[in-house]
Amino acid sequence: MNDMTPTREQREAALEGMGCKRKRVEDVRFTQGKGQYVDDLKLPGMVFGDFVRSPYPHAKITKIDATEALKIPGVIAVLTAEDLKGVNLAWMPTLAGDVQMVLADGKVLYQNQEVAFVVAEDRYIADDAIQLVEVEYEELPVLVDPFKSMDPDAPVLRPDLEGKTEGAHGPRKHHNHIFNWEVGDEDETAKAFAEADVTINEMISYHRTHPSPLETCQCVASMDKVKGELTVWGTFQAPHVIRTVASLLSTIPEHKIHVIAPDIGGGFGNKVGAYPGYICSIVASIVTGVPVKWVEDRMENLSTTSFARDYHMTTEIAAKSDGTVTGLKVHVLADHGGFDACADPSKWPAGFFNIVTGSYDFPAAHLSVDGVYTNKAPGGVAYRCSFRVTEAAYCIERAMDILAQKLDMDPADLRMKNFVKADQFPYQSALGWEYDSGDYHTAMQKAMDTIGYRELRAEQKAKQEAFKRGETREIMGIGVSFFTEIVGAGPSKNCDILGVAMFDSAEIRVHPTGSVISRMGTKSQGQGHETTWAQIIATEIGIPAADIMVEEGNTDTAPYGLGTYGSRSTPVAGAAIALAARKIRNKAQMIAAHMLEVSEYDLEWDIDGFQVKGNPEARKSMKEIAWAAYHAPPPNMEPGLEAVSYYDPPNMTYPFGAYFCVMDIDVDTGVASTRRFYALDDCGTRINPMIIEGQVHGGLTEAFAIAMGQEIRYDEMGNVLGASFMDFFIPTAVETPHWETDHTVTPSPHHPIGAKGVGESPNVGGVPAFSNAVNDAFQFLGSTHIQMPHDSWRVWQAAKDLGAHG
Amino acid sequence: MIPGEFTYHRPSSVAEAIAILASHGDEARPLSGGHSLIPMMKLRMAAPEHLVDLGGIADLKGISEDGGTITIGCMTTQHELIGSDLLADKLPIIRETSLLIADPQIRYMGTLGGNVANGDPGNDMPGLMQCLGATYVLTGPDGDREVAARDFYEAAYFTALAPEEILTAVKIPAPPAGHGYAYEKLKRKVGDYATAAAAVVLTMTGGTVASCSIALTNVADTPLHAADASDILTGSTLDASTIASAVAAAEAITDPASDGRGPAEYRTKMAGIMMQRALARAAERASA
């Protein structure tokens, strides 16, 4: 071998394939302000839409008069529900099987609800006109507290459902009841509780919050009346689903609808659903024949386009006196707001909340979820988590701490005692899931050793003594969280959205010169797909990632996919990519055999090409094979080198992790400072460690925000409080703790490359770690459970209630 | 989040600015850094028809000292306050407080005059100016008049400033060399207004407080000069029981709103805690 021939290591490195800390290719444009977002789009003749919104959370509308608004020069139209009725779009179906008003139809159900859509030549004129649309309201009694929603005399929120005793998910037991969802064996669970040595029972609330991406929801709709074609550019995490829904609602044939999701500035679940702004823009463009742009402002985003969480979880655990858990019983009261617009797979009204047994071997469990209406914004999206998984993880991780306290056991030891063991996988959970793989004990032990868990407990003990002696006003908490996620929705046997199975797809085309364009049904909102998808292909077909272009978001060119949310991209589309790439490699093998005049069975794959077994000098690189595919394919073989794969996953994937948070709390101010945060993640095979680390940093920062103060709050009158970044907690670099990251690798046995997905793990596992740290700090003063969020005044209040202020 | 229509003026002299203000009365508002007024306009909670931008008036910027009085032009930015050697030497508490206002980008634009004249109880400088015994120079069609910071604030956004007047300068008596000082601010995050904050300036003689001035921020609809608390502490050795009665006196004058920062009770208690911590730091910094 002469000096010019690259070594195997050099050839491998040149690919920048799986496992490489490849720099994100999309950042070249993002860091230079060259991203192309919806609001960057300017079309000739484009006009702007904006909403008249209700100041009242619950009111009848007796009159809407747009006369004065229409007199302003530049105002083109003011649409109301009456106008939308003409095209049968005053209401729209939700992903959860409910219907939702597009514009207020006779009443409003939450503050800031969309009442009328003003279309004007520019945004300034539209906003001026909004002030002049006269709406007469007649206030109705307001229902804010979900625990009062099913009182006999609770106000009727949805007269449209009067007499409907059957909802999309079974019987309704009250006029504000949406559904009851039950899983598990109630009798077996009751037996476990009857025989238990120890039980706990705690109402654990996970407050209402919002995904709050940097870029709000927005779209441009353009109807070409001559061609009969509609193009919609929008902030869509699932562009193909939007196309199908738009076709079903508008009756425009699906092939004449072009949905394009350009660069997206963060989604976190906020951009999965369909919102009134999209529908109104489309209708307005159909009416006016010109493109219509709609861009939400921050307050609109926080107060109307979806919310997350708002789960109130009464949690009971049965255990033996040695700490072995024997039963879990959870009842959830789920506040869904005015319409049930939760973004879950259609048959899952509470998402995958039945992952609530977590990482523990519960022999029996029972879960019951009741969804109710209140006068709050609809939504219920999965804010950087698979459907309701973060609520479930918070529920069980908080409850395990409470059980440990009752048993006077260390919470880490209690977890170790009850983990599903490595040899139990695939593990069948009491609530119906088959966990694919895991090695919880190893991960937990590594985390405990790395952070110095026992030493921290000793330090905490000493600090508690010093506090009791009056020598310090600071207390210390150690938050333990060991989460198991369920992601990668999902297998067609249990997952669909409005009837479309939740597969995903990839198309790969190798060009004659050996470069590649590939397209997927997913849509990055910051996850770095352009970088990581190319790495999977690079490893699978031996073409450098730098020569592979990844394109997503255009429904005309990309194969049909269900989009990006719920950490599904890698488990589902990532598998489709690997399988499409393997189709290409199989064809390449036949071409190489022809070129080398050997049987394809005599060839073996070697990094970036095929070589003859036992004679590595006789080889053809993928670049050479690609040329041959177009230049001189074997006889009887179709020319070209491309493949499409649609992947229906056989199972979900189950990432897990061990997180530890060390917190110091100033009892006099309630200020909690995170001293250390250690996150060990096991997401199976790691495609790009740097992107994983970035994902973990981002998710932990959101978890920190949620646990420590990020909240959509309503006062007792139903006014939404704090719907601006002045009050809605988005931490800056100053507040954000330092993150220590680590990993173990337990590949998924059923995924073609063993990857499980990681984008949401840190949010799911982070929230309980922070909350458990705060709770742990106060345990020695007699506290059992302090509700989130743990902002300073609430922590101070807890300290005061426990008598810590003397 | 889109303001209504307005006319923008950019005069080059104080006289010209006052003439514009005088001719439009309540319909005109002076604009300095804009970080309070422009968000209010975007929310259409303020809708002035005329905005008079003071940014083009060179005379309104600058920091100078004359016979123990430091004068700061109203258009001096918080960034400039932080960078001033004169203030670092004579009034270091201004630098300490400025660094707790919002973030660097806002401090490049935000001005001392705007911060004190707007009457927003959340602003930090009004309380500090009360603590320092500052005087505001109000310039109107009939010339200058001076109003003490402690007399300037009437209610939230209501001050002694008349619509045709501009707060052109702030005059501060320099505290004696060796004074102790501290500004303690509790806030939820960078950029937030105080949950509660306290400014303390004191001098010590032989372990005894020779003089003391305290003011509180954002725990009432105006800044609060805690005169009683200051009096209680003067002459004391800062022993625990005197501090406790001073804290009680300070807490007694608070009347905070309950909001996202916490209920009123919490904010009152935090005013006491911030004052206590500011006192401790100020005493530590003071020459004996």
- Which residue is closest to A124 within chain B, CA to CA? B2
| CB within 8 Å: A793 and B1 | no
- The share of chain A scoring above pLDDT 90, in percent, equals 97
pLDDT tens digits, A580-603: 999 999 999 999 999 999 999 999
User: Which whole number is the average pLDDT over A619-634?
Assistant: 97
Contact A793/B195, CB-based, under 8 Å? yes
Location of structure tokens 């309980």: A768
Cβ atoms of A622 and A721 closer than 8 Å: no
Minimal Cα–Cα distance from A669 to chain B, Å? 7
CA distance A589 to chain B (A): 59
What residue spans define the domains of chain A?
Answer: 11-37+504-647, 41-140+215-265+271-303, 393-485+652-801
| Chain B from 11 to 30: CB within 8 A of any A CB | none
What burial class does residue A321 get, using C-beta atoms within 10 Å of its C-beta: 0-12 exposed, 13-18 middle, 19+ buried?
exposed
Residues of B in contact with A120 (CB under 8 A): none
What number of CA atoms fall less than 13 Å from residue A300's CA on the CB side? 22
Averaged confidence pLDDT in chain B: 97
The tokens describing A80, both together, are 């109301």
Chain B partners of A732 at a C-beta cutoff of 8 Å? 103, 189-191
Q: Domain A41-140+215-265+271-303 sits in which CATH superfamily?
A: Aldehyde oxidase/xanthine dehydrogenase, a/b hammerhead (3.90.1170.50)
CB contact under 8 A, B190 and A722: no
Q: What is the CATH number of domain B61-173?
A: 3.30.465.10
A147 touches chain B (CB under 8 A): no
The runs of H, that is alpha helices, within chain B are: 14-24, 37-42, 78-83, 85-90, 92-98, 104-109, 112-117, 125-132, 149-152, 227-233, 240-252, 264-285
Confidence of residue A3 (pLDDT cuts 50, 70, 90): low
Sort out which chain B residues have CB atoms less than 8 A from A708's CB and list them: none
Q: What phi and psi, each to the nearest 5 degrees, are found at residue B184?
A: -110, 125
Q: How high does pLDDT run on average in chain A?
A: 97
Interchain CB contacts (distance < 8 Å): A and B: 53
A734 vs B2: CB contact, 8 Å cut-off? Answer: no
Terminal CA-CA length for chain B: 53
Cα–Cα distance between B81 and B72 in angstroms, integer?
A: 9
d(C-alpha A794, C-alpha A774), whole Å: 11
What mean pLDDT do residues A95-118 have?
Answer: 97
Structure-token pair, residue B20: 């514009």
Fold of B181-285: Enolase-like; domain 1 (3.30.390)
Query: What residues of chain B lie within 8 A of the CB of A670, using their CB?
Result: 266
* Residues B109-146: tens digit of each pLDDT: 999 999 999 999 999 999 999 999 999 999 999 999 99
Chain B contacts of A299, Cβ < 8 Å?
A: 1
Q: What is the rounded CA–CA span in Å between residue A327 and residue A418?
A: 12
Q: Where are the domains of chain B?
A: 7-53, 61-173, 181-285
pLDDT band at residue B1 under the 50/70/90 scheme: confident
Closest residue by Cα to residue A562 from A486, A618, A502: A502
Torsions phi, psi of B153, nearest 5? -95, 125
pLDDT tens column, B66-115:
999 999 999 999 999 999 999 999 999 999 999 999 999 999 999 999 99
Q: Do B188 and A731 touch (CB under 8 A)?
A: no
DSSP A399-424: HHHHHHHHHT--HHHHHHHHBPPGGG
- Which residues in chain B are contacts of A131 at CB distance < 8 A? 4, 44
Mean pLDDT, residues B10-23: 97
Interface membership of B104 toward A (CB under 8 Å): no
What does each C-alpha distance from A255 to A248, A523, A554, A563, A600 come to in angstroms?
Answer: 12, 20, 13, 19, 41
Q: Chain B contact for A51, CB < 8 A?
A: no
Q: Is A729 in Cβ contact with B190 (below 8 Å)?
A: no
Segment A192-207 shows an average pLDDT of 98
| CATH code for residues A11-37+504-647 | 3.30.365.10
Which residues of chain A make contact with B184, given a CB cutoff of 8 A?
none
Q: Report whether A555 contacts A239 (CB < 8 A).
A: yes
Two tokens at A408?
């006077």
Beta carbons of B190 and A735 less than 8 Å apart: yes
Could you list the active site residues of A? Answer: 237, 384-385, 760
Is the CB of residue A473 less than 8 Å away from at least one CB of chain B? no
> How far is the alpha carbon of A94 from chain B, nearest alpha carbon, in Å?
28
- How close A797 gets to chain B, by Cα (Å)? 8
User: A11-37+504-647 and A393-485+652-801 share one CATH topology?
Assistant: yes
Pick B189's closest partner by Cβ from A124, A732, A797.
Answer: A732
Cβ(A170)–Cβ(A96) under 8 Å? no
Q: Please indicate whether, in this complex, the C-beta atoms of B189 and A731 are within 8 angstroms of each other.
A: yes
* Rounded Cα distance, B200 and B184, in Å: 9
Whether the CB-CB separation of A220 and A292 falls below 8 Å is answered with: yes
Cα(B96)–Cα(B82) distance, integer angstroms: 8
Inter-chain touch B2–A123, beta carbons under 8 Å: yes
pLDDT in tens, A429-485: 999 999 999 999 999 999 999 999 999 999 999 999 999 999 999 999 999 999 999
Q: Do domains B61-173 and B181-285 have the same CATH topology?
A: no
pLDDT of residue B6: 96
Enter the CATH code of domain B7-53. Answer: 3.30.43.10
Summarize the confidence of residues A651-673 as an average pLDDT.
Answer: 98
Give the separation between CA A686 and CA A655, rounded to whole angstroms: 12
Amino acid present at A387? F
A123 touching B (Cβ < 8 Å):
yes
Q: Which CATH number fits domain A393-485+652-801: 1.10.10.10, 3.40.1050.10, 3.30.365.10, 3.90.550.10?
A: 3.30.365.10
CB contact under 8 A, A727 and B189: no
Residue A1 clears pLDDT 60, i.e. is over it: no
Residue A766 phi/psi, 5-degree rounding, is -75, -40
| Residue located via tokens 């001073």 | B246
Q: Give the pLDDT confidence of A12-31 residue by residue, as tens digits.
A: 999 999 999 999 999 999 99
Q: Please calculate the CA angle A489-A494-A500 and round it to the nearest 5 degrees.
A: 75
Strands A292-295 and A47-53: parallel
What was the ipTM of the complex prediction? 0.96
Query: Hey, what amino acid is at A728?
Result: F
User: Chain A within 8 Å of B261 (Cβ-Cβ)?
Assistant: yes
| Tokens representing residue B122 in the block | 């959340």
At A698, is the secondary structure helix, strand, or coil? Answer: helix
> Would you state the pLDDT for residue A718?
98
